[in-house]
Amino acid sequence: DGVITAVNPTATRMLGWEQAEMVGRRLADFVHPDDLAATAGEVAKLSDGKTTLAFENRWRSVHGSYRLMAWTAVPEDGRIHGVGRDITRERTLARERERIWNLSPVVKVVVDLNGEIFAVNPSWTRLLGWSEQETVGRDIRDFIDTGDVENATRRLGELADGSSLAEHDTVFKTRSGEHRRIAFTSVPEADTVYGFGRDVTAEREAAEALATAEEALRQSQKMEAVGQLTGGIAHDFNNLLQGITGSLEIIERRVAQGRLTEIGRFLSGATTAANRAAALTHRLLAFSRRQPLDPRPVRANPLVASMEDLLRRTIGERIELELVMAGGLWLTLCDPNQLENAILNLVINARDAMPDGGKLTIETCNAHLDDAYAARQRDVKPGQYICICVTDTGTGMDSDTIVKAFEPFFTTKPIGQGTGLGLSMIYGFARQSDGYAKIYSEIGEGTTFKLYLPRHRGPADSEEEVPQLSDAHATDQGEVVLVVEDEPVVRGLIVETLSELGYRAIEAADGPKGVEILRSKKRIDLLITDIGLPGLNGRQVADAGRTVRPGLKVLFMTGYAENAALASGFLEPGMTMITKPFAMEALATRIRTIIEG
């Protein structure tokens, strides 16, 4: 009659009822209403002496929820003995697996090691047109393009050896006679292989087209750049060289005439021209990714704020400047001087885009570039960045201009008002710093330039004072410095400065001579060497020196570094670097720091 006469402790734990709350009550008090008819039918069979081997129904717990139970039951002396197992979670997981199998956009295929197909999910049919009935039981190579069958056979062999295969492209034939390229990840387990694929047909075709277009573009840019270099950059250099050589000629005449009081302004003119030439070469090298940087932990908010007065003078009174600095901005690792230069160039561009005035906004924020965003961009790594955003309300750019904006020597300014190296220099700086640059603009609406620099998790550096040549740079210990430099003028200037500061200097004009001195018994406290030396380069000289003088302190000089990220891998402990051209005060400061450090 369906009255419960006994329950074991497991039943009470599973459903939450006390034994007294269940014994004496009817099954209908606990079984789900939708399962009552089936349960009554099963009880009737048991009453007729039949055994129940597998029956499922839902039982109400004390909390009101239902648990799915799988029963085995036998009749005996007018009573029914039932043993139940809670399969609620098991059945839920099975339904979820089935739902994922059916709804997933990923093509899923199960085959044996011979290639016979056991199962395919609906995405197989949606992509290729072959139904499950047309597919299961056939060899997977029946559906692969004939030109790719040999590769498929080879991969089955690799999978038979127990090796998983990630992202391998296979060309499949559709039911309509077309071809689709699917990137499969295949995982073997015992005698079965599970394949997970995504359609990459359009992606691969776009990549091939892009590669072809890029190659043609690079060749075109090379030819165009050569012409613009000879006409523009050579012209600038000639003007700068004229300023230097002309000033030196006048100084020479004034010295011969004894008119020493008048040479100051000509020295200043020569120095200014030389500095401008150095800045131009730094811009060129930054774009080519050969300009060595001096990366250090940087707090961008104070850096931007310190530039406010300079920026206001640069943009003039007709343009409103607003700084929006984010609280809690992360540290970044970059060259702070290059970052200042990048911000100044962006502000100058924004100013020129607002000839009638407007508003310029500089914002900072923390940003996270996820995998999906990074996959849509070129050379972008997912991760945490700080973002410096420069927005103007100027004339804006069309899509063609945006595409060309980072190209070297491209400028929309009139002849003589721009070299076209500003944005390309910023792009080079961003790439060297493992960052990213992006332009958003519309004609008549203005432009937003976003500079992303990677988050740095280390401590911040304390600010360095501008080095000034003084008694603090001098030494009374008589340290010996070996100078290896193939350019006589540069070598002579360094040796002269060292002598003035109280150091004893030894000269070497090339790498082999430098190594010879290092292997001698002479005292040497510091090696100063150019990186680009004839015979042996500076790093080879330093390595040779450290084999006989472990812990030798080294200061590298460079004006053209093959590896732009020298500071992150090239330099070992006890080594540092200075970039030409440098002020002698900066050299003296660097020498004192490395010797004392």
Q: Does 547 reside within a domain?
A: yes
Regarding whether 48 and 114 lie in a shared domain, the answer is no
Regarding whether 522 and 404 lie in a shared domain, the answer is no
Angstrom distance (rounded) from CA 284 to CA 560: 11
Angstrom distance (rounded) from CA 537 to CA 483: 13
Q: Does 96 reside within a domain?
A: no
Q: Does 80 reside within a domain?
A: yes
Listed in sequence order, the DSSP H helices in 19-107 are 19-22, 36-47, 88-103
Over residues 80-87, the mean pLDDT reads 91
Pairing of strands 296-298, 331-334: antiparallel
Regarding whether 170 and 51 lie in a shared domain, the answer is no
Regarding whether 223 and 192 lie in a shared domain, the answer is no
Rounded to 5 degrees, what angle do the CA atoms 430, 431, 435 make? 60
Q: How confident is the model at residue 279 (pLDDT cuts 50, 70, 90)?
A: low
Whether the Cβ atoms of residue 99 and residue 171 lie closer than 8 Å to each other:
no
Listed in sequence order, the DSSP H helices in 437-583 are 488-500, 511-518, 538-548
Regarding whether 587 and 449 lie in a shared domain, the answer is no
What pLDDT is recorded for position 329? 92
Is the predicted pLDDT of residue 186 greater than 90, yes or no? yes
**What share of the chain in percent tops pLDDT 70?**
83
CA dihedral 570, 537, 279, 468 (to 10 degrees): 80
What pLDDT is recorded for position 196? 93
Regarding whether 434 and 309 lie in a shared domain, the answer is yes
Final residue belonging to a domain, choices 287, 316, 340 = 287
563 Cβ neighbours under 8 A, 6+ residues apart: 569, 570
567 Cβ neighbours under 8 A, 6+ residues apart: 292, 293, 294, 295, 577
Over residues 84-110, the mean pLDDT reads 87
Regarding whether 312 and 164 lie in a shared domain, the answer is no
Q: How confident is the model at residue 322 (pLDDT cuts 50, 70, 90)?
A: very high
| CATH, residue 15 | 3.30.450.20
Regarding whether 300 and 425 lie in a shared domain, the answer is yes
Listed in sequence order, the DSSP H helices in 505-554 are 511-518, 538-548
The identity of residue 229, as a single letter, is L
Helix 336-352 / helix 422-432 crossing angle, nearest 10 deg: 150
Final residue belonging to a domain, choices 199, 234, 256 = 199
3-state class of 368 per DSSP?
strand
Q: Does 208 reside within a domain?
A: no
Q: Does 501 reside within a domain?
A: yes
Strand order in the sheet with 66-76: 52-60, 66-76, 79-86
Is the predicted pLDDT of residue 229 greater than 80, yes or no? no
CA dihedral 153, 154, 155, 159 (to 10 degrees): 100
Rounded to 5 degrees, what angle do the CA atoms 475, 481, 485 make? 135
**How many angstroms separate the Cα of 506 from the Cα of each of 30, 51, 438?**
99, 104, 50
Read off the DSSP letter of residue 34: G
Q: Does 463 reside within a domain?
A: no
Whether the Cβ atoms of residue 287 and residue 315 lie closer than 8 Å to each other:
no
Final residue belonging to a domain, choices 426, 456, 486 = 456
Read off the DSSP letter of residue 122: H
Is the predicted pLDDT of residue 210 greater than 80, yes or no? no
What is the domain extent for residue 484? 471-596
Q: What is the pLDDT of residues 394-452, one digit of tens each?
A: 888 877 776 666 554 445 544 334 434 456 667 777 887 888 888 888 888 888 999 99
| CATH, residue 408 | 3.30.565.10
What pLDDT is recorded for position 406? 59
Whether the Cβ atoms of residue 382 and residue 433 lie closer than 8 Å to each other:
no
Whether the Cβ atoms of residue 534 and residue 513 lie closer than 8 Å to each other:
no
Regarding whether 324 and 280 lie in a shared domain, the answer is no
**How many angstroms separate the Cα of 255 from the Cα of each of 43, 244, 252, 272, 349?**
123, 16, 5, 21, 44
Q: 278 exposed, middle or buried (CB, 10 Å; 0-12, 13-18, 19+)?
A: middle
Q: Does 213 reside within a domain?
A: no
Q: Does 478 reside within a domain?
A: yes
Q: What is the pLDDT of residues 574-590, one digit of tens each?
A: 888 887 777 778 888 88
CA dihedral 307, 309, 313, 318 (to 10 degrees): 100
How many domains does the chain contain in total? Answer: 5
Angstrom distance (rounded) from CA 202 to CA 181: 9
What pLDDT is recorded for position 226? 42
| CATH, residue 512 | 3.40.50.2300
Angstrom distance (rounded) from CA 177 to CA 179: 7
Regarding whether 439 and 330 lie in a shared domain, the answer is yes
Regarding whether 150 and 14 lie in a shared domain, the answer is no
Angstrom distance (rounded) from CA 94 to CA 99: 9
HSE at residue 334, side-chain half, CA atoms within 13 A, is 32
Q: Which DSSP string do the residues of 291-330 spell out, in sequence order?
A: S----EEE-HHHHHHHTHHHHHHHH-TTEEEEEEPPTTPP
Regarding whether 442 and 304 lie in a shared domain, the answer is yes
Determine how many CB atoms are found less than 10 A away from the CB of residue 248. 14
End-to-end CA distance of the chain: 94
